[in-house]
A and B are shown apart, each in its own frame.
Chain A
Amino acid sequence: MTKDHGGDVRLSGISKTYGSFAAVHPLDLTVPEGSFFALLGASGCGKTTTLRMIAGLEEPSSGTVSLGEQDVTRLPPHKRPVNTVFQSYALFPHLDIFENVAFGLRRRGIRSVTKQVDEMLDLVQLGEQARKKPHQLSGGQQQRVAVARALINRPKVLLLDEPLGALDLKLRRQMQLELKRIQTEVGITFVHVTHDQEEAMTMADTVAVMNAGRVEQLGSPTDLYENPRTTFVANFLGTSNLIEAEVDSKSGGAIVLKAGDGKLSLPEARCSAPATTGGRVLVGVRPEKISLTHADDAGDVPVGRNRITGKITATSFIGVSTQYVVDSSVCPEFAVYVQNIDRDPRLVPGADVVLHWSPAHTFGLDAAQSLLAGTAGSAGVETVEEEAAVR
C-alpha cells in the first residue's frame, strides 16, 4: 500500500440537484487512502446521493470526483475502480454464491478465478456455502456475500450504502466488528453511509455528519462527540444538554457565563461561537459528565465546578447506569447519566439536587441555531412550540 495519497477520494465542489431541490449542496471532501470513513446523517440528508456520485450511479450536477490523480467524474460505473455494497445487497438471484463473488473478476476477463474466490469466501467465512443460491442464506450471510463480491475486485474504494440496515441489532453489532476486521485486514478505503450514529462511531476513523445536503462537521468520533460545533451534531451524536447563557466576562482563557441566576465557566478554546461580553451562547454538556449530589450535601461539591440546582422529575435504571431527568431553572429536562457504583438512595423523583461538572467538559455553541436540531422530533411546528417552551 502506498502512502503517497494516490488513492485518496477527492470530491471538489460536488453537488446534486433534482429540479429545484438540492439533495447535496456543493461540498468538498477528501477521504484519505486506507481510512474507514463514515457519512452519517438522517434519511434524506444527501449521504446516499454523495455515495452514488462516487460510485458513478448518479451524475453530479456540478463538481468533480477524483480517485487519486484520476478524474472519474464522467466515467460510467463499470469503468471506475470502485465497488459498492448495496443497501439490500442486490445479489444476483440466479447465480450461486461462488458465481456472485466471481462476477466482477469474470467481467474483467480473468480466467482462473477459483483460488481467489475461495480465499475471499474464507475471509468472510462462507467457504461452505459456495454452491448455494442467495435466497438460501440468512441476512447476515447475504450481507457478507455482498461484501466479498465487492472486495474481491480489490477496488481503490469500497462504498457501503447502509450495509447493515436490514439486520437485527445483535447481528448488526457482530457485523460492525466483522467489517472493521476486514477493513483492517485488506487496507482498502471504506466509505460507509449510515444513519446510525453508534455504527458510525464504532467503525469509522473519520465521520462526516451530514444535514440537509451539507457536511455539518467532520472529524474523529471522539472529536465529534466531545467537541460538537453545531447543535445538530451535539444532538445527533448522543445526547447533549444545551443551556442558553449570556457572556458575563472573560478571564484567563475562560468565559464566564450567566445562566439563570447562576454562573458557568467555559474554556475559551471549547467555544465554537464568537463570545463577546453581553452576547449569547449555548452551553452544552454531555449527560455522563455530570455528577449528581443531593441538595443536603451541596456543601461537599468541590469549588470551581459548574453547578446548577434542580429537582429530579424521573429516573430510569438501565443496568450500567441510571438516567435521571432533572428540572432546573435553565433547562426543564436536564439529562444526567450516573454510573451505578454507589447509588444514593435519596436520589428519587422529587428530590432536590445539585448538578455539577468540570468546566473542561463544557462546550459552547452559536446561539443563533435551533436548540433541538438533530433530535428525534425536530421538525415542523412542534419544534417551534418546544423551543418557545424552553425559553
Chain B
Amino acid sequence: MTTLTEAEAPPPPAPVTPTRKPPRGRGRLVPYWLLLPGILWLLVFFALPMIYQASTSVQTGSLEEGYKVTWHFATYWHALSEYWPQFLRSVLYAGSATVLCLLLGYPLAYLIAFRAGRWRNLILILVIAPFFTSFLIRTLAWKTILADGGPVVGALNSLHVLDVTGWLGITAGDRVLATPLAVVCGLTYNFLPFMILPLYTSLERIDGRLHEAAGDLYATPFTTFRKVTFPLSMPGVVSGTLLTFIPASGDYVNADLLGSADTRMVGNVIQTQFLRILDYPTAAALSFLLMAAILIMVTLYIRKSGTEDLV
C-alpha cells in the first residue's frame, strides 16, 4: 500500500536549477549588441580604408587634376616590375630575422617554461620590458650601438667577424651600420618578444610527465626534445614565426634608420611613394601586393606545418 500511495503522490517540484531555454525577446539580441562596437570599429578603421585604398590603386590622374577611377590595373604590373628587388629583400630580411628570432627565442622560452622556477615572472617581465619604450627610440639606440668605430664594431673587427660578414656581403668594410646586417639585427631585436611569448605559452602547456614518460621509454634527453617537446611546441613555433615574419616584412623603420639606399625594403618604398613622391596609386598597389604576397606565403606555411590549432 505504501508504495502505491507513493507512486500516486504528485511529482516533486521542478528543480531550482534554471532550465537552458534559448533566451527570448530582447535577451536574444544581447550578443549582437555586444558585438556592435567591435564591428563598427572594424568597419570604420579597417574595411573603409581598405576599400578606399583598393579604389586608389586603380585610379589615374595627377595631384593637380585630381585622381579618377579608371580601372588602371597596369599600376600593379608597373609596381611589381619596378620594385621587385625591394619585395625580394623584404622577404629575405624578414625571413632571416624570423629564423634568428626562433634560434634566439626558443632556448629562452624553454628556459622560462621549464627551468626558471621562481624567476619565471621576472624573466617574462624582462622580455616585455622593451615595449615600455617607443619602437623608434629603441631602433635609434641600435644606431648608437652599431655606430662606426663604436665598441661593437671594434670588437667584431678585432675578432675578424667583419671579414666573414663582409665576404658574405652583409656588411661593408669596417661598417655595420647601413648594411643588411644592421637591418636584420634591428628587425630581430624588435620582434623577438613576439616570438618568445607564443613559444613560451605553448611550451609551458606541455605536461612535465610527458618528459618523464619519454625518458622512461628509453628516450635520451635530446630525443625527448626532438620527438616530444618540439612537436608539441609547434603551435607556438608557427604563431611565433607568423607574428614575427608578417610585421617584419612590412617594416620600414629599421631599414630607414639602420640601413642605406641599398637596403630599402618594400615598406620604405610604400612610405616614400605615399609621403614624398605622392604617387598614391602606386603606393596603394604596392600595399595590396605586399598583403597578397604575405597571405599566400602564410597559407602555404600553415598548410605545410600542418597546424590546425594555432595558439
Contact, CB under 8 Å: A78 / B215: yes
Contact among A78, A83, A92, A149 for B228, CB-based, below 8 A: A92
In the bound complex, residues from chain B placing their C-beta under 8 Å from that of A90 are 207, 209-210, 212-213
In the bound complex, residues from chain A placing their C-beta under 8 Å from that of B210 are 90, 92-93
In the bound complex, residues from chain B placing their C-beta under 8 Å from that of A103 are 214, 217, 219, 227
8 Å CB interface, A89-131 against B = 90-94, 103-104, 107-108
Greatest chain A CB density within 10 A among B209, B210, B214, B218 is at: B218
Contact, CB under 8 Å: A93 / B232: yes
Q: Which of the four size classes fits the interface of chain B?
A: 10 to 19
Contact, CB under 8 Å: B218 / A78: yes
Contact, CB under 8 Å: B231 / A94: yes
In the bound complex, residues from chain A placing their C-beta under 8 Å from that of B215 are 56-57, 76-78
Distance in Å: Cβ of A102 to nearest Cβ of chain B: 10
The yes or no answer to A176 lying at the interface (CB within 8 A) is no
The yes or no answer to A275 lying at the interface (CB within 8 A) is no
Number of A-B contacts (CB under 8 A): 59
The yes or no answer to B220 lying at the interface (CB within 8 A) is yes
In the bound complex, residues from chain B placing their C-beta under 8 Å from that of A91 are 213
Bitwise, A171-182 to B at CB < 8 A (1) or not (0) is: 000000000000
In the bound complex, residues from chain A placing their C-beta under 8 Å from that of B232 are 93-94
Contact, CB under 8 Å: B216 / A92: no
Q: Name the residue on A nearest B211 (C-beta).
A: A90
Contact, CB under 8 Å: B218 / A107: yes
Bitwise, A145-156 to B at CB < 8 A (1) or not (0) is: 000011001000
Distance in Å: Cβ of B259 to nearest Cβ of chain A: 41
In the bound complex, residues from chain B placing their C-beta under 8 Å from that of A150 are 216-217
The yes or no answer to A378 lying at the interface (CB within 8 A) is no
The yes or no answer to B223 lying at the interface (CB within 8 A) is yes
The yes or no answer to A55 lying at the interface (CB within 8 A) is yes
Contact, CB under 8 Å: B218 / A86: no
Q: Name the residue on A nearest B206 (C-beta).
A: A93
Q: Name the residue on A nearest B234 (C-beta).
A: A94
A90–B217 alpha-carbon span in the complex (Å): 12
Q: Which of the four size classes fits the interface of chain A?
A: 20 to 34
Contact among A82, A86, A94, A104 for B209, CB-based, below 8 A: A86
**A107 and B223 contact, Cβ closer than 8 Å, known pairs A90-B207, A93-B232:** yes
Contact among A55, A93, A108 for B216, CB-based, below 8 A: A55
The yes or no answer to A62 lying at the interface (CB within 8 A) is no
In the bound complex, residues from chain A placing their C-beta under 8 Å from that of B212 are 57, 77, 84, 86, 90
Bitwise, A35-76 to B at CB < 8 A (1) or not (0) is: 000000000000000000001110000000000000000001
The yes or no answer to A220 lying at the interface (CB within 8 A) is no
A104–B218 alpha-carbon span in the complex (Å): 6
**A153 and B213 contact, Cβ closer than 8 Å, known pairs A94-B231, A94-B232, A107-B223:** no
Contact, CB under 8 Å: B213 / A78: no
**A83 and B209 contact, Cβ closer than 8 Å, known pairs A92-B228, A94-B231, A107-B223:** no
Contact, CB under 8 Å: A107 / B219: yes
A117–B220 alpha-carbon span in the complex (Å): 22
Q: Name the residue on B nearest A99 (C-beta).
A: B227
Distance in Å: Cβ of B204 to nearest Cβ of chain A: 15
**A153 and B217 contact, Cβ closer than 8 Å, known pairs A86-B209, A86-B212:** yes
In the bound complex, residues from chain A placing their C-beta under 8 Å from that of B214 are 92, 103
In the bound complex, residues from chain A placing their C-beta under 8 Å from that of B207 are 88, 90
Q: Name the residue on A nearest B209 (C-beta).
A: A90
Distance in Å: Cβ of B212 to nearest Cβ of chain A: 5
A241–B228 alpha-carbon span in the complex (Å): 52
Give 29 CB contacts A-B under 8 Å. A55-B216, A56-B216, A57-B216, A76-B215, A77-B215, A77-B216, A78-B217, A78-B218, A78-B219, A84-B213, A86-B209, A86-B212, A86-B213, A88-B209, A90-B210, A90-B212, A91-B213, A92-B210, A92-B214, A94-B228, A94-B231, A103-B214, A103-B217, A103-B219, A107-B219, A107-B223, A150-B216, A150-B217, A153-B218
Residues on B close to A: CB < 8 A? 207, 209-210, 212-220, 223, 227-228, 231-232
Cβ-closest 10 pairs across A and B: A104-B217, A90-B213, A107-B218, A90-B209, A77-B215, A84-B216, A78-B215, A78-B218, A94-B231, A107-B219
Residues on A close to B: CB < 8 A? 55-57, 76-79, 82-84, 86, 88, 90-94, 103-104, 107-108, 149-150, 153
